C-alpha cells in the first residue's frame, strides 16, 4: 500500500494508551503511536517534517520524538515554565511557545530565543501564517516572525507588533490563519460567542459572526469558502463566506446558502481541521472522541474513542520520513536556550536577541498571571456549565424553583422578626 498523502495527528489529556497517535484520515485505522506522558491543549506540532513536539501537561518541558521512530524514548526540552501553547513554523525554522506571561520564539538552526515579559495574559493559542512570515497570538497581536526580522545588535531597538486586534470582549479560545501568506485572513474564536475574521496585511476586521454559545475552536477550509466553528454545546457551525447577502456583522442562522450545523459531539469541541481538498472535517471534543465528517453531507464517517478529553487533533501532510523506519532527521535537534542572552546560563557565549513588547495601550497595570489564569478558568467553567444545563426550559424551571425558595426564606425571616419583636416588647 502506498503512503498516504495526509494523516491525522491527535492526542488526549489522559495519555493512557499513547501520548499522541497517527491515523488514516479515510478509515480511522492507526498507523503509529508515540508513548510517554500526555500533551496539553494546542501544544502538539510537527517540526520540519522530522520531529513531533508536544508540551507536557502541567510540566515545564516539551516531549520530542523523531517522527519515524515510534518505539523510542522521547527526548525532553526543559523550558522556563509550563508551556500553555506551542507551534512550529511551516518552513521548519522557528518554534513558538507561550510560557506564563511571555512568548518564546526560537530559531532552531541558531539556538536563539527571544521573548517578552510585559503581556498580562494567559496564552492558550498561537499560530504562524502559511509562509512563516508572521505569527499571531492573543490579545490578538500580529508580529513579524524571526525569519523575517533583521537581527539588531543594538538591544535597545524593540520590535513592535504590526497590528493589535482588540474587538473581542472575553478571552480568545482559538486562532486559525489561512493560506496566502502575508495576504492571509485570520479567524479568532472567543468566549464572547463571536468569531471574527481579520486581514493580516491591514489588521482590518472583515467579518464578525455572533452565535448563541461560546466558540472553542475555529478553522477555514483551504479555499476559504467556509468557516467552521466548534461550540461549547458540542455543535460545529459551518459559516458560508461566499454568500451574496453576507454582512460585516451577522448572527448565525442555518439556511440553504451553506450555513449548516454538524451534530454528534456531546461536549465542547476543542479542535477542528479540514483536509487539503476540503471534503473532510476533523473534530476533537471533551466527550473523549475524535470524529471525521464528510463536509458535503454533514455525516460522521468514523469516530475514535479516547481515554480522556481530546486536546489536539489535526489533518497534516504526511511527512516523507514517517513511514521509513531506517531514515533519520537530516538536522539534529539543537538545545533550546532558556534565556535571551546565553551568557545568563553560564555558557560564556553571546548572541543577539530582541524583546517583543506590546504597546502601552494594551498593557494592564493591575492583575497578575495567576489572577488572569483564574479568571480565564472561571469563564471557561461558566461556559461549560451553560452548555451542560442549557438555556431553555430546564433553566426556566430552575429559576422558578430558586425564586420560590427565596420567597420561603423571606417569609421565615419575617416570622422570626415578628416573634423577636413580640418577645422583646412583651411587658414583664
Phi-psi group of 330: left, alpha or beta (phi > 0 → left; psi -120 to 50 → alpha; rest → beta): alpha
**Where is 176: in which H helix or E strand?**
strand 172-177
Question: Cell numbers 501553547 correspond to what residue?
Answer: 85
> Contact at 8 Å (CB) between 155 and 353?
yes
pLDDT string in tens for the chain (428-residue length): 566 789 999 999 988 888 899 999 999 999 989 988 899 998 999 988 889 999 999 888 999 988 877 556 678 888 888 898 888 888 888 888 888 777 888 877 644 343 333 333 344 455 655 555 556 665 455 555 443 433 333 445 556 777 888 888 888 899 998 887 778 899 999 999 999 999 988 889 999 999 999 999 999 999 999 999 999 999 999 999 887 666 789 999 888 777 899 999 999 999 999 999 999 999 999 999 999 999 999 999 999 999 999 999 999 999 888 887 777 777 777 677 666 555 555 444 433 334 444 444 444 445 555 566 667 667 666 655 554 445 555 666 767 778 888 888 888 888 888 888 888 887 76
Domain ranges of the chain: 6-317, 369-425
d(CA 112, CA 74): 23
Pick the CATH number of 6-317 from 2.130.10.10, 1.25.40.20, 3.50.50.60, 3.40.50.300: 2.130.10.10
What is the C-alpha to C-alpha distance for residues 337 and 167, in angstroms, rounded to an integer? 35
- DSSP class per residue in 329-344: -SSPPPPPPSSSSGGG
Write down the pTM of the prediction: 0.73
CB 273 within 8 A of CB 282: yes
> What backbone torsions phi and psi does residue 418 show, to the nearest 5 degrees?
-65, -40
Q: How far is CA 25 from CA 8, 163, 293, in A?
A: 6, 36, 10
How many residues make up the chain in this entry? 428
Amino acid at each position: 500500500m502506498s503512503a498516504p498523502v495526509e494523516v491525522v495527528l491527535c492526542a488526549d489529556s489522559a495519555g493512557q494508551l499513547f501520548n499522541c497517535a497517527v491515523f488514516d484520515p479515510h478509515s480511522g485505522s492507526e498507523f503509529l503511536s508515540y508513548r510517554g506522558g500526555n500533551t496539553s491543549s494546542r501544544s502538539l506540532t510537527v517540526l520540519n517534517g522530522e520531529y513531533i513536539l508536544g508540551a507536557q501537561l502541567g510540566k515545564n518541558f516539551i516531549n520530542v520524538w523523531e517522527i519515524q521512530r515510534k518505539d523510542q524514548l522521547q527526548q525532553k526540552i526543559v523550558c522556563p515554565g509550563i508551556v500553555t501553547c506551542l507551534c512550529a513554523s511551516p518552513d521548519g525554522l522557528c518554534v513558538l511557545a507561550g510560557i506564563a506571561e511571555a512568548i518564546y520564539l526560537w530559531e532552531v538552526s541558531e539556538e536563539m530565543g527571544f521573548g517578552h515579559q510585559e503581556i498580562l495574559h494567559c496564552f492558550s493559542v498561537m499560530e504562524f501564517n502559511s509562509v512563516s512570515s508572521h505569527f499571531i497570538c492573543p490579545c490578538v497581536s500580529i508580529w513579524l516572525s524571526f525569519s523575517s526580522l533583521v537581527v539588531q545588535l543594538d538591544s535597545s531597538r524593540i520590535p513592535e507588533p504590526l497590528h493589535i486586534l482588540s474587538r473581542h470582549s472575553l478571552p480568545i479560545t482559538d486562532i486559525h490563519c489561512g493560506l496566502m501568506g502575508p495576504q492571509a485572513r485570520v479567524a479568532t474564536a472567543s468566549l464572547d460567542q463571536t468569531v471574527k475574521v481579520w486581514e493580516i496585511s491591514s489588521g482590518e476586521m472583515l467579518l464578525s459572526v455572533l452565535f448563541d454559545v461560546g466558540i472553542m475552536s475555529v478553522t477555514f477550509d483551504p479555499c476559504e469558502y467556509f468557516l467552521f466553528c466548534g461550540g461549547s454545546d458540542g455543535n460545529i457551525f459551518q459559516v458560508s463566506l461566499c454568500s451574496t447577502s453576507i454582512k460585516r456583522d451577522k448572527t448565525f442562522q442555518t439556511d440553504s446558502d451553506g450555513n449548516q450545523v454538524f451534530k454528534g459531539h456531546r461536549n465542547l469541541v476543542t479542535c477542528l481541521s479540514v483536509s487539503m481538498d476540503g471534503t473532510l472535517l476533523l473534530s476533537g471534543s471533551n466527550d473523549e472522541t475524535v470524529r471525521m465528517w464528510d463536509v458535503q453531507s454533514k455525516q460522521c464517517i468514523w469516530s475514535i474513542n479516547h481515554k480522556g478529553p481530546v486536546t489536539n487533533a489535526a489533518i497534516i501532510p504526511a511527512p516523507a520520513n514517517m513511514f521509513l523506519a531506517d531514515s533519520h532527521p537530516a538536522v539534529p535537534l539543537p538545545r533550546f536556550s532558556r534565556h535571551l542572552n546565553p551568557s545568563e546560563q553560564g555558557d560564556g557565549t553571546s548572541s543577539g536577541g530582541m524583546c517583543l513588547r506590546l504597546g502601552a495601550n494594551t498593557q494592564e497595570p493591575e492583575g497578575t498571571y495567576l489572577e488572569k489564569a483564574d479568571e480565564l478558568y472561571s469563564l471557561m467553567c461558566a461556559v461549560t456549565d451553560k452548555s451542560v444545563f442549557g438555556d431553555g426550559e430546564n433553566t426556566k424551571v430552575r429559576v422558578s424553583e430558586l425564586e420560590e425558595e427565596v420567597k420561603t426564606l423571606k417569609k421565615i425571616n419575617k416570622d422570626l422578626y415578628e416573634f423577636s419583636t413580640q418577645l422583646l416588647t412583651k411587658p414583664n
